[in-house]
Chain A
Amino acid sequence: MTTQSPVQHSRQSDLDHASFVGSWRVWVTVVLAIAVAALPFIPAVDSYMLSVVVRAAIFIALGQAWNVTAGIGGQLSLGHGVFFGIGAYTTAILFNRYGIPPWIGFLGGIALALVAAFVMGAATFRLRGVYFALATIAVSLGFEEYARYEIDFTGGDAGMAVRFLGDSLWALQSRDPAPFVWFTLAVVVGFYALTRMILNGRRGFELQAVRDDEEAAAAAGIDVVRVKLWGFLLSAGMTAFVGSVYVQFYLSIDPMTAFGLPQGIQIQLPALIGGLGTAGGPIAGGAIMILVSELTNWAGTAIGQEGIDVLAYGVMLLIIVMRAPAGVVGQWERLFRRPGAAP
C-alpha cells in the first residue's frame, strides 16, 4: 500500500515556463516585501496592526519550515511543535539562566532540534504516511508532558517569561513591534528564497520523487532515507529558529504553546490552505489564516465567545481537504494556467 501525498502533480512540467514565471514571481515578492517593510512608517498603522503583521510572519515562517518536509517531501509530521518548542525554550533558558543572548541561543536551539529530528527520523522513517504522522504525535505529547514536569527548568505548566531588558539589540528585544516586522519579514523572504532554491535544485526533485512514489524513487537510485532525513533536518532547524524568534517577540512560552497537539496542527495549516509543496503556498495560506483569525477574534469578542478562530480553522481544513487539496495557490494556478500548458 503506497500512501499518496495530497498534491500529485509533477513539478518537472513547470520547467518549460519556469524562467518567465520565476521573474514574475520575484517582482511580486520584492514589491510585497517593500510594502510590508514600509508599514511602520505609515502613521495610520498602529502598533497593534504591526504586532498582527509579526504574528502573521511567524505563522507563515512556521508554515514554510513545515512545508519543506511535509509539502515537498510528503512526510506529514504532526510533531513539529517539538522543534518549535525546543527553539523557544532553549533561547529563553539560555538567556534567563546564563545571560546568553538569543543570537547565540538561536544556534543552540537549532542544534538541539537537529539532534531531536535525527533521533525522531531514525525511529520513524520506516513508517509510511499515517503511521509516521501518528508517531510524531507521540513524540510531541511526550515533550509536552516532560516540559510540564521539569518545573525548575521550564517553569512547568505555567510556562516561563523571558527577562525583559527594554530596547536592546544585544538581547533582540524591543518595546515597539517595528523592528520585529523587519526581522520576521527578512525570515519569511529568506525562507521563500530557500524554498524556491530547493524546488529548483536536485534535492527538491529527489524529495518530490520520494513523496510521489517511494519505490520508484528507490529504484531510480535515490537514497530514500537520506533524502527524507535531509528534508526533515532542514525543516526542524528552520522551525526551531522560528520558535526562538517567537519567544523573543512574545517573551513567554509554556508547554501547551510549545509542544501541544494544537500547535502541531496549527503549524500545518498555512501550507495546507495555501498549497502544499509550493513556495508561495505557506505565505498565501498564512496571510489568509491571520485575516480569518483577526476577523473571528473580533466577532468572537463581539458575541462573547472564545475559540471561534479554531472553529474557522477546522472548517477551512475540511473544505481544503475535501474540495481543493492543492490549496489556494493550486486552485489559482488551475484557474489561470494557459490552455495547452502543462497540467
Chain B
Amino acid sequence: MSLSIIQAILSGILIGGVYGLFSTGFSLAFGVMRIVNFAHGELVMLGMYVGLFIFVGTGLDPLYTAPIGGIVAAALGSVLYLVFYRRFVGRATLQQLLIGIAIALILQISAQIAFGPQTRGLQSGWSAQYLLIGPIFLSYAQIFAFALAVAIVLLVELLLSKTVWGQSIRAIADHREAAELVGINSELRNLGAFALACGLAGISGGILVAYYPVSPTVGFSLVPIALIAMVIGGLGSVGGTFIGGIMVGVIQQLTGAVWSTALQNIPLYIILLLFLAFRPHGLFGRQSAH
C-alpha cells in the first residue's frame, strides 16, 4: 500500500468519527420514531456556531465546549418535535420529509440573517498542530475529535442498554410493533429520544468547528452524509451507523487520494443508491426498510 493510501485511510477514520457521531443522532430519530429529520444538518450547524461564538468571546477551544452546543441543539430539537414532528411519529411520510425540508430552509436563512452569509473558521493554538508519524501527518484536532466522538457514542450505547428509558427506546428501534404491544409508547420517551438525537447533532457541530469552517449552508452538505452513514450502517442501529460514518470518511478520503477530491462524494451517492435498492436494512440493521 502506498503512503497516500495509508494517509487517506487514517484521515478518513478520524474525520469519519465525527460523521458517525452526528449520523448516530439522525439514525436514532429514524429508528425510534421513523422521523427523517431533514433539518439534522442545521442542528449541527447550530452547534458549530455556538462553538465558534464561545471561542470568539472567551478563547475556549470548541472541543471543550461542545456539550454546550449539544444542549442548545437539544433544546431547539425539543421545540421542533413538540410543534411539528410529534404528529408524524411512526410514519415516515412524505409530508414529514417536506416539514423537515421547510424547517431546514428556515433555520438556514435565519442563521444567514443572524450570523451573516460568510464562511468562518477558527484557529485555536494546539488544535491547528499536526502529529507526525514518519511521513504520515494527522491533525491533533481531528485526533481529539475522534476520541471524543468514540467516547460519546459509547456513552449513548451505555445509556441505551443500561437504563430503563434507553431499553424501551432500543426495544422500539429493534421491533416497533412488539414494543407497542407490550405498552412501550410514551410521549416523554419520544421527546427524550428526539432531544438526544438533536443533542448529538449539536455536540458534533461543536467538535466539527474545531477544524471545519462553518457557514449557514453547511447543513445541506451534512444531511446526505448522515443519510448514507445510516443506510450503510443499518437504519436505526446506533453502533452500525457510527461505523457507517467512519466508512463514509474513509471512502471520501480514498476517493480524494486516488481520483480527485472534487469527486470525493460521488462513490458515496452510488453506494447509497445500491444499498437502498439491494440492501435497505444496511450492513448491521435487521429491519426491512419497506
A102-136: CB near B (< 8 Å → 1, else 0) gives 00000000000000000000011011111101110
Contact A130 B277 (CB under 8 A): no
**Residues of chain A contacted by B36 (CB below 8 angstroms):** 130, 134
Judge whether B92 is part of the interface by a CB distance below 8 angstroms: yes
Interface residues of A in 215-241 (CB under 8 A from B): none
Given A306-B117, A307-B113, A313 contacting B92 (CB threshold 8 A): no
How far apart sit A268 and B108, CA to CA, in the bound complex (Å)?
19
Contact B272 A135 (CB under 8 A): yes
**Residues of chain B contacted by A313 (CB below 8 angstroms):** 105
How far apart sit A128 and B276, CA to CA, in the bound complex (Å)?
10
Interface residues of B in 69-125 (CB under 8 A from A): 84, 91-99, 101-106, 108-110, 112-113, 117
Contact B101 A149 (CB under 8 A): no
Judge whether B133 is part of the interface by a CB distance below 8 angstroms: no
B276-290: CB near A (< 8 Å → 1, else 0) gives 110010000000011
A53 CB, min distance to chain B CBs, angstroms: 26
How far apart sit A145 and B96, CA to CA, in the bound complex (Å)?
27
Judge whether B260 is part of the interface by a CB distance below 8 angstroms: yes
**Residues of chain A contacted by B260 (CB below 8 angstroms):** 149
B272 CB, min distance to chain A CBs, angstroms: 5
User: Which residue of the partner chain, among B103, B108, B266, contacts A318 with CB atoms under 8 Å?
Assistant: B103
Query: Which one of A1-9, A30-38, A41-49, A176-184 is at the interface?
Result: A1-9
User: Which residue of the partner chain, among B228, B266, B272, B277, contacts A145 with CB atoms under 8 Å?
Assistant: B266
Contact B109 A307 (CB under 8 A): yes
B35 CB, min distance to chain A CBs, angstroms: 10
User: Which residue of the partner chain, among A76, A124, A135, A321, contacts B99 with CB atoms under 8 Å?
Assistant: A321
Q: How large is the interface on B (under 10, 10 to 19, 20 to 34, 35 or more residues)?
A: 35 or more
Judge whether B270 is part of the interface by a CB distance below 8 angstroms: yes
Contact A141 B269 (CB under 8 A): yes
Contact B112 A131 (CB under 8 A): no
Closest to A148 in B: B262
Q: Which of B93, B104, B220 has the most CB of A within 10 A?
A: B93
Q: How large is the interface on A (under 10, 10 to 19, 20 to 34, 35 or more residues)?
A: 35 or more
Interface residues of A in 1-25 (CB under 8 A from B): 1, 3-6
Judge whether B227 is part of the interface by a CB distance below 8 angstroms: yes
Judge whether B224 is part of the interface by a CB distance below 8 angstroms: yes
Contact A145 B263 (CB under 8 A): yes
Contact B272 A129 (CB under 8 A): no
Q: Enumerate 12 A-B pairs (CB-CB under 8 Å) in ascending A order.
A: A76-B97, A124-B276, A127-B289, A130-B94, A130-B97, A134-B36, A149-B262, A306-B117, A310-B109, A313-B105, A317-B102, A322-B99
**Residues of chain A contacted by B97 (CB below 8 angstroms):** 76, 130, 133
**Residues of chain A contacted by B227 (CB below 8 angstroms):** 134, 137-138
**Residues of chain A contacted by B290 (CB below 8 angstroms):** 1, 128
The 5 closest A-B pairs by CB, nearest first: A314-B105, A317-B102, A314-B106, A142-B269, A138-B269
Judge whether B265 is part of the interface by a CB distance below 8 angstroms: yes
How far apart sit A193 and B176, CA to CA, in the bound complex (Å)?
46
**Residues of chain B contacted by A76 (CB below 8 angstroms):** 94, 97
Judge whether A164 is part of the interface by a CB distance below 8 angstroms: no
Judge whether A54 is part of the interface by a CB distance below 8 angstroms: no
Closest to A129 in B: B94
User: Which residue of the partner chain, among B93, B95, B103, B263, contacts A149 with CB atoms under 8 Å?
Assistant: B263
